[in-house]
């Protein structure tokens, strides 16, 4: 149980026990990433050999550091860990991250218990052991790998280091960023539940990406999601859905996933947003990061590519969204302003020679069509200056604009990030956009229903 | 109907009617792409204004060109097209591509019919009108956009220009490449059926990516797929599955898609591989491009990321693949050679510090395990030198190796392409890999069943 994990995230100083000048060592990677991540607190490499490491003077042990130490990151082999916890307790650190493996995950339950008992005795929260560390971008504290510096609205809590890293890297590459990446490892102390409570209050976090293979404590988990699932969207990827997958999960993290149908029912009851594969996990996080108020289920599709528009319509129908007709007023206004080859319906096909200005013109009309408050805008060619389409619209309108950009090559790559910078989410295919819209729309719909029940 | 579209693809000379020095014009783009694509036949810009265009002397009309012209690409406005067809007939061209729109797609059926009657009278096949052209990489003939030069095994036939362009661009970026991209447009003459017959015989093509909103001729279509679906894998994306999508397809290309359940049954009966969204369409093409013989449905999963392995297992179970146990012999051999933290089962978890050599060691053992002939190898970290894992194995073994690479950042990007260069297909998530394996496995299974029936 955790007293105050907030102090750990906001640590003003950090010691890396097992820091190394050898780039092949984990103790190098962690120290390097803390420095390269731009951490502005004090940094203390700890290594009995002494000398400078990556330009910072090292100390033989944490008790030798002549300043207060808030956070201790441990990278030394498992048998040395209890001593370091003892020392950490004596100098009143506020948090410990144990990267080192060799505990419960390989059957060494006794060592795991010894370490946790010590830490609990001192009241120090511990992340890990056997984990990939903690990255909290608001404090520029990347005590983790990979090195991710892009600050953004998604807090990633992950039992799988790779899945958490993949989501974080995608979010960085897309210029969306993360508020945090916490690798749970054995989660012998700090659990997904403690972290969800923290991120629910964290102002830098708009949505929580949760990857777990089983819940750490069923009753506390339900209490937690009952309280916070409607505060911030929680997107959950819980593999081990099949019995075969469940068995694999048990050998991976000793997680008891339980009956998947029960977990699924829990998600529906308490409004967790469940993703069923890794792409969907990221897509839902992306949309939840940008959309933070209810959206309707009437979708208007505007496209330069008729074929892509049809993909969107099929996906919408299959995911419970509606594609209503345009109002007569919209139709007559659009007929006035659009070239004759455009197909004026929903989807609205602006045709292949459409540039950004044609989208602006069309959206300027459609934003007044009260049938719609959600717009899927498909750019199906290398169309430049797409961010300008939305900047003015967003000032004048509360409508939701979601983009799918495809067939645009290098232009697509830069436009996608330009759109993300102005908080317009971009998906690589129309179907992925639609699936995400459907899931987030349902989240807000259920949230509203629950409010009404109260 | 088409006499010989092969001559068009293998054209030794090409005229662009409507070639322009103005980079904003389509007549510039087409000419530019033919030149920049490295076309080694003769190139003749046609423009009544005369002068050089992009370094090539232009001619007032095609009849003024003092050399034989095999292919004519038409970019001038629709009303001028009939005259050009007449001229093309007089100089015995072998194929015509009409990029220009303004025909049947906007209700101008008469002009469409006039043009087609003229061309048929002369026996010249016509692609289009209202299309994005033809790219045939074995002839370095990019009479199309986008400019794609990467030669590869996938022939893309697409009713939607954007969908075809997206697939082609992804294949180029992934260093897989295409043999062709043909944009059908109104397909007033050359149809998807003619093209499927051509690509079935084309030595450069290993699989056919077919995007249509409806078939051009039901009876001929069935005849065609009956003959060729087992010759080369045909992956088909046919949007308009929902009634709403079907209506949108009708306004897009006047396509009558028919009852989707009927088309679905057709796919099953004649062994078309149906994709249900754009990502899947590309994934299936990618796998079909690299795997050209039967694969079993017993899957071995080898991973550095336990969590990703579980995603693969769930997806395998949901898609009808089996994850059998490793043989006792494999287990005891693996126990000898792998570090103690590895989880020796299926999935085989090599754990987070695995580098390429650990994969090599494990696969060297498993390739002799007769339970498996298909291996999903997941690299869940920035692991370098992965191509070397497979080079030797591929020489010694007929087994199928499919990769999912994730959480690898820049290393992943370069490794992915290195793997594609040695014909190992790479997928961005385990689930996408598994779905593709399942679909291609079923294709070969059905193909074998049909052979047995004969």
Residue A106: per-residue pLDDT: 85
Residue B444, pLDDT > 80, answer yes
Q: Provide the shortest C-alpha distance from residue B45 to chain A (in Å).
A: 23
Q: Do A146 and B409 touch (CB under 8 A)?
A: yes
Q: What is the full DSSP assignment across B362-406?
A: HHHHHTT-TT-SEEEEEE-S-----HHHHHHHHHH---EEEEEE-
Is pTM beyond 0.90? Reply is yes
| A253 is a domain residue | yes
Q: Do A169 and B313 touch (CB under 8 A)?
A: no
- Whether residue A301 has a cis bond before it, omega within 30° of 0: no
Provide, as residue numbers in chain A, all residues whose Cβ is less than 8 Å from the Cβ of B307: 158-163, 211, 213, 239, 252-253
How sure is the predictor about B2, in pLDDT bands with cuts at 50, 70 and 90? very low
Average pLDDT over every residue of B234-248: 93
User: Are residues B46 and B69 in contact, defined by beta-carbon separation less than 8 angstroms?
Assistant: no
Burial of B413 (0-12, 13-18, 19+ CB in 10 A): middle
Tokens of A356: 């950004």
Closest CA to A302 of A221, A356, A248: A356
Q: Tell me how far apart the alpha carbons of residues A184 and B415 are, in angstroms, rounded to a whole number.
A: 28
Q: Which residues of chain A have pLDDT under 70?
A: 1-3, 253-257, 454
Residue A253: per-residue pLDDT: 66
Half-sphere exposure of A295 (CA within 13 A, CB side): 27
- CATH of residue B274: 3.40.50.261
Q: Tell me how far apart the alpha carbons of residues A311 and A429 are, in angstroms, rounded to a whole number.
A: 9
Residue B330, pLDDT > 50, answer yes
Q: Tell me how far apart the alpha carbons of residues A275 and A237 are, in angstroms, rounded to a whole number.
A: 5
Tokens of B399: 């087994």
Residue of chain B whose alpha carbon sits nearest to that of A348: B248
Kindly state the percentage of chain B with pLDDT values over 70: 98
- Are residue A126 and residue A198 in the same domain, yes or no? no
- Neighbouring CB atoms inside 10 A of A454's CB total 4
Tokens of A160: 């799988």
Interface of B with A in 400-429 (CB under 8 A): 406-407, 409, 428-429
Closest CA to A339 of A327, A355, A325: A355
Provide, as residue numbers in chain B, all residues whose Cβ is less than 8 Å from the Cβ of A431: 277-279
pLDDT digits (tens, 9 = 90+) for A33-52: 999 999 999 999 999 998 99
How sure is the predictor about B106, in pLDDT bands with cuts at 50, 70 and 90? confident
Provide, as residue numbers in chain A, all residues whose Cβ is less than 8 Å from the Cβ of B297: none
Average pLDDT over every residue of B235-239: 97
Interface of B with A in 254-283 (CB under 8 A): 277-279
- Are residue A250 and residue A301 in the same domain, yes or no? no
Query: How far lies A328's CA from each of A399, B160, B246, in Å?
Result: 20, 28, 22
* Count of domains for chain B: 3
| A182 is a domain residue | yes
| Residue B205 DSSP symbol | -
- Are residue B16 and residue B111 in the same domain, yes or no? yes
Tokens of A199: 């991120």
Q: Do A106 and B341 touch (CB under 8 A)?
A: yes
Closest CA to A96 of A110, A82, A108: A82
Q: Tell me how far apart the alpha carbons of residues A2 and A6 are, in angstroms, rounded to a whole number.
A: 10
| B138 is a domain residue | no
| B136 is a domain residue | no
- Are residue B282 and residue B232 in the same domain, yes or no? yes
- Are residue A281 and residue A325 in the same domain, yes or no? no
Last residue of a domain, one of A290, A308, A339: A290
Query: How far lies B25's CA from each of A1, A31, A260, A356, B127, in Å?
Result: 67, 55, 57, 17, 20
Q: Tell me how far apart the alpha carbons of residues B11 and A414 are, in angstroms, rounded to a whole number.
A: 36
Last residue of a domain, one of B290, B314, B341: B290
Kindly state the percentage of chain A with pLDDT values over 70: 98
- Are residue A285 and residue A312 in the same domain, yes or no? no
Q: Do A349 and B251 touch (CB under 8 A)?
A: yes
Residue of chain A whose alpha carbon sits nearest to that of B305: A162
User: Are residues A352 and A278 in contact, defined by beta-carbon separation less than 8 angstroms?
Assistant: no
Last residue of a domain, one of B260, B290, B320: B290
Q: Tell me how far apart the alpha carbons of residues B184 and B196 are, in angstroms, rounded to a whole number.
A: 12
Residue A187: per-residue pLDDT: 94
Tokens of A413: 């790559």
Among the residue ranges A243-252, A369-378, B42-51, B405-414, the one predicted with the least confidence is A243-252
- Are residue B242 and residue B384 in the same domain, yes or no? no
- Are residue A240 and residue A155 in the same domain, yes or no? yes
Residue B1: per-residue pLDDT: 41
Query: What ipTM describes this predicted complex?
Result: 0.95
How sure is the predictor about B397, in pLDDT bands with cuts at 50, 70 and 90? confident
Residue B253: per-residue pLDDT: 66
Average pLDDT over every residue of B311-324: 97
| Beta-carbon pairs below 8 A across chains A and B | 202
B201 in contact with chain A, both atoms CB, cutoff 8 A: no
Residue B345: per-residue pLDDT: 95
- Are residue A74 and residue A87 in the same domain, yes or no? yes
Average pLDDT over every residue of B194-215: 97
User: Domain range holding B414?
Assistant: 292-451
| Residue B48 DSSP symbol | T
pLDDT digits (tens, 9 = 90+) for B119-174: 999 999 999 999 999 999 999 999 999 999 999 999 999 999 999 999 999 999 99
| B348 is a domain residue | yes
Residue B239, pLDDT > 90, answer yes
| A145 is a domain residue | no
- Are residue B62 and residue B193 in the same domain, yes or no? no
- Are residue A176 and residue A316 in the same domain, yes or no? no
| A136 is a domain residue | no
Q: Tell me how far apart the alpha carbons of residues B64 and A407 are, in angstroms, rounded to a whole number.
A: 37
| B318 is a domain residue | yes
Residue A255: per-residue pLDDT: 62
Q: Do B162 and A429 touch (CB under 8 A)?
A: no
Strands of B426-427's sheet in order across: B348-349, B299-303, B374-379, B400-405, B426-427
- Are residue A297 and residue A417 in the same domain, yes or no? yes
Among the residue ranges B3-7, B98-102, B207-211, the one predicted with the least confidence is B3-7
Return the axis-axis angle of helices A278-290 and A161-173, rounded to nearest 10°: 50
Kindly state the percentage of chain B with pLDDT values over 90: 90
Average pLDDT over every residue of B265-294: 96
Closest CA to A178 of A285, A275, A96, A284: A285
């Amino acid at each position: 149980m955790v007293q105050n994990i907030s102090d750990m995230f906001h640590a003003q100083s950090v010691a890396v026990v097992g820091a190394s000048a050898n780039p092949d060592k984990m103790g190098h990677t962690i120290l390097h990433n803390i420095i390269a991540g731009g951490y502005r607190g004090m940094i203390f490499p700890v290594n009995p050999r002494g000398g400078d490491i990556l330009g910072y003077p090292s100390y033989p042990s944490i008790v030798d550091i002549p300043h207060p130490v808030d956070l201790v990151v441990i990278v030394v082999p498992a048998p040395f860990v209890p001593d370091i916890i003892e020392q950490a307790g004596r100098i009143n650190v506020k948090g410990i991250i144990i990267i080192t493996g060799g505990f419960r995950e390989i059957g060494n339950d006794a060592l795991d218990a010894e370490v946790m008992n010590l830490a609990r005795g001192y009241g120090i929260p511990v992340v890990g052991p056997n984990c990939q560390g903690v990255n909290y971008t608001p404090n520029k504290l990347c005590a983790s790998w990979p090195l991710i510096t892009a600050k953004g609205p998604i807090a990633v809590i992950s039992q799988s280091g790779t899945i958490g890293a993949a989501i974080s890297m995608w979010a960085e590459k897309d210029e969306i960023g993360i508020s945090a990446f916490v690798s749970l490892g054995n989660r012998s102390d700090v659990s997904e539940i403690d972290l969800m409570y923290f991120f629910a209050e964290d102002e830098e976090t708009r949505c929580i990406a949760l990857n777990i293979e089983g819940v750490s404590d069923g009753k506390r988990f339900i209490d937690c999601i009952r309280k916070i699932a409607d505060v911030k969207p929680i997107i959950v990827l819980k593999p081990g859905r099949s019995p075969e997958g469940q068995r694999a999960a048990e050998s991976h993290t000793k997680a008891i996933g339980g009956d998947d149908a029960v977990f699924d029912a829990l998600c529906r009851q308490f409004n967790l947003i469940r993703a069923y594969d890794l792409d969907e996990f990221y897509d839902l996080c992306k949309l939840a990061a940008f959309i933070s108020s209810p959206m309707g289920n009437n979708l208007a599709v505007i496209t330069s590519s008729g074929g892509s528009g049809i993909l969107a319509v099929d996906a919408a129908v299959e995911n419970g969204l509606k594609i209503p007709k345009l109002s007569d007023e919209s139709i007559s206004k659009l007929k006035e302003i659009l070239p004759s080859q455009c197909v004026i319906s929903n989807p609205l096909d602006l045709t292949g020679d459409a540039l950004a200005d044609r989208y602006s013109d069309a959206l300027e009309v459609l934003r007044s069509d009260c049938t719609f408050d959600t717009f899927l805008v498909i750019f199906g060619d290398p169309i430049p200056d797409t961010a300008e389409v939305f900047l003015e619209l967003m000032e004048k309108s509360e409508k939701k604009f979601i983009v799918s950009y495809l067939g645009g090559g290098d232009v697509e790559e830069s436009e996608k990030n330009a759109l993300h910078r102005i908080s317009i989410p971009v998906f690589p295919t129309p179907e992925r956009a639609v699936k995400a819209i459907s899931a987030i729309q349902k989240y807000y719909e259920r949230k509203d229903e629950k409010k009404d029940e109260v």
